[in-house]
Amino acid sequence: MNVFRKKSVEQTIAETGESGRSLKRDLTWWDLAIMGVAVAVGAGIFSIGAQAAAFHAGPAVIISFLIAGVVCGAAVMCYAEFASMIPVAGSAYTFTYTTVGEIIAWVIGWDLILEMLMAGSVVSKYWGVYLNDFFRLVGWNINTNIAIGSFNFDVAPLIIVAFFTTLLVLGTKIGARVDGALTVLKIAIVLFVVVVGFFYIKAENFTPFVPPSEPAASSDSGVSTAMNQPLWQWATGMTPSIYGVAGIISGAALVFFAFLGFDVVATTSEEAINPKRNVPLGIGVGMGLIIVLYTLVAIVTTGMVSYKDLAKQSSPSLATAFEMVGANWAAKIISFGIVIGLATVVMVLLLGLTRVVFAMSRDGLLPRGLSHTGKHGTPVRLQVIVGAVMALIAACSNVDVLADMVNIGTLSAFTLVAISVPIMRRKRPDLKRTFRMPGNPWVPILIALANVWLMLNLSVLTWIRFVIWLLVGFAIYFGYGYRHARLGTGELDVAREQE
């Protein structure tokens, strides 16, 4: 059994022209940059930051955002190097299939499915929450939640997922145009928040900037505090705590969710015009915009309201902060902007998730029938299936459970992509790279270690769920994927190691 068999880069690129399984190239670098901003400016900027300030880092959440931004930005540069060499759908899954082998590629693909499925479900759920919040703020007696006995079902996620699924079925370019228009509106709302928020900043809210560490309160969910503390604290026997330096790091692990998205952009490489230039450029421009926006919003949020007051709220958010300073009119505008903003995130995650499954299906690791494309150059059947699953999870699940699963899936993928950069440099120095990650091999290794460290700051319970997810994935791989992979059936040649 050769679970480390690899596809050649040349073979991988050639498959993009397979009849009935090829995607249409019509995205520019600006489309990709806007796509990155669209998916990253969403749940993180409007909700996760306030929660991280309240329950993890206090005003030092600003540092948490900078740490997460630097780590994510560095990891994204690794994606950019691979995308410039292998402009094929699938992102990290495709990259690792050509470098470290099939079993690792499967793990990455399975992690990406976890990341994007959970993220799409989280954001769809938040969209429903904020839609109802907007209705409340403007005085409309409308609620999208339906109670069936003790079971609560939210129809809002079904609506937003169905809308963007339809657009993506009709063509990626159409979806990108609608998403782009909504993203411009979203950025305008963010800038409005920053400008207005500065008028409410009080210097005393930044003191103490790094709150002293204190014991963590017991979980209201009934799950023990130990299960909700960072893994490294549990492993070293430390008393569960919040704030302090440990709070800054755990806050960075949490707000890492806010930077989710640029790996999704890499999954669309096969649909980009001149991808070897446009993918790295689009990723770089988008990432720069995001880091600036997040830092400004973090400053405003923690300057307007004391982190202690935010911690008294059951679900603190940016809109909550404006309500707490008496700016209800601003909260209404923000709430509307959030509804628009989160919608754009849903579309990009639907697109990214579908492209990862598409790539795995085209390789035979998942049923090949899922990778058929229609007259619009999109995998219609797969897009509909992905949309249906995402909508149902969002409608029926708890957001808090899903969010940390997104982070651990993303960080694990980032880690393996970073490690793959020096491996590919050694094996295939002949491949043309229009973008090169600087500082090889030490910078990629440091990036991998930084991602592992953030993973260790996620809760024990998150790690338990992650291990269960991986075990299910291995069962599918050994039960179906290994035997049906095109490398195993003889349809493709196993790549020989480069000396």
Whether residue 84 contacts residue 421, with contact meaning beta carbons closer than 8 Å, is answered with no
Q: Which residues partner with 491 through β-bridges?
A: none
Dump pLDDT digits (tens) for 415-426.
888 898 998 898
> What percent of the residues of the chain are helix, what percent strand, and what percent coil, each to the nearest 5?
70, 5, 25
Structure tokens at 369: 């029938």
Tally of CB atoms within 10 A around 426:
12
Which residue in the block uniquely carries the two structure tokens 């410039």?
Answer: 84
pLDDT given for residue 221 in this prediction:
41
Give residue 222's pLDDT: 39
Half-sphere exposure of 411 (CA within 13 A, CB side): 29
Options 2.60.120.380, 1.20.1740.10, 2.30.40.10, 1.10.10.10; CATH for 9-489 is 1.20.1740.10
Identify the three-state secondary structure at position 145: strand
Burial bucket for residue 96 (CB in 10 Å: 0-12, 13-18, 19+): buried
pLDDT grade for 45, boundaries at 50, 70 and 90: confident
pLDDT at 225 > cutoff 70: no
Any long-range contacts for 92-95 (C-beta under 8 Å, 24+ apart)? 92/263, 92/266, 92/413, 92/414, 92/416, 92/417, 93/356, 93/359, 93/360, 94/12, 94/359, 95/417, 95/420, 95/424
Residue 229: pLDDT band by 50, 70, 90 thresholds? low
pLDDT of residue 499: 36
* 237 burial level (CB within 10 Å; 0-12, 13-18, 19+): exposed
In this predicted model, what pLDDT tens digit does every residue of 47-71 receive, in sequence order? Answer: 777 778 888 888 888 898 888 888 8
Tokens encoding 262 = 């640029």
Q: How far is the CA of 26 from the CAs of 76, 244, 358, 424, in angstroms?
A: 22, 48, 18, 28
The radius of gyration of the chain from alpha carbons, rounded to an integer in Å, stands at 22
DSSP class of residue 147 equals: E
pLDDT band at 262 (very low <50, low <70, confident <90, very high): low
What residues are paired with 154 via a beta bridge?
A: 145
Average pLDDT over residues 180-190: 85
Choose the weakest-confidence range: 109-118, 269-278, 396-405. Answer: 396-405
Nearest to 378 by CA among 91, 86, 165: 165
Q: How far apart are CA 213 and CA 479, in angstroms?
A: 48
Q: Is 74 exposed, middle or buried (0-12, 13-18, 19+ CB in 10 A)?
A: buried
By the 10 Å C-beta count (0-12 exposed, 13-18 middle, 19+ buried), 17 is classed as exposed
First and final C-alpha spacing in the chain = 23
Which H or E run includes 153?
strand 151-154
Average pLDDT for 450-467: 84
Eight-class DSSP state of 151: E
The DSSP-derived string for 421-471 is HHHHHHH-TTS--SS--TTTTHHHHHHHHHHHHHHHTSBHHHHHHHHHHHH
> Hey, which of 180-189, 190-199, 329-338, 479-488 has the most confident mean pLDDT?
479-488
User: How many Cα atoms occupy the beta-carbon half-sphere of 322 within 13 Å?
Assistant: 23
Paired tokens of 259: 């930077």
- Please give the full DSSP string across 171-212, using - where no structure is assigned: -HHHHHHHHHHHHHHHHHHHHHHHHHHHTT--GGGGSSSSPP
Beta bridge partners of 27: 272
d(CA 435, CA 448): 19
Q: Write the pLDDT tens digit of every residue in 296-330.
A: 888 888 888 888 888 887 777 777 788 888 887 77
Whole-number percent of the chain with pLDDT over 70: 90
Structure tokens at 464: 């338990």
Q: Measure the CA–CA gap between 476 and 457, rounded to whole angstroms.
A: 29
CA distance 441 to 434: 18
The mean pLDDT of 269-285, rounded to a whole number, is: 85
Taking a C-beta distance cutoff of 8 angstroms, is the pair 201, 300 a contact?
yes
DSSP SS3 for 491: coil
With beta carbons less than 8 A apart as the criterion, state whether 262 and 80 touch: no
Tell me if 109 sits within 8 A of 485, measured CB to CB.
Answer: no
What integer pLDDT is reported at residue 219 of this predicted model? 46
Q: Which amino acid is at 257?
A: F
pLDDT given at position 498: 46
> Using one digit for the tens of pLDDT, what is the confidence trace for 365-415?
999 988 888 777 788 899 999 999 998 888 776 666 666 677 787 788 888
**Average per-residue pLDDT for the chain:** 82
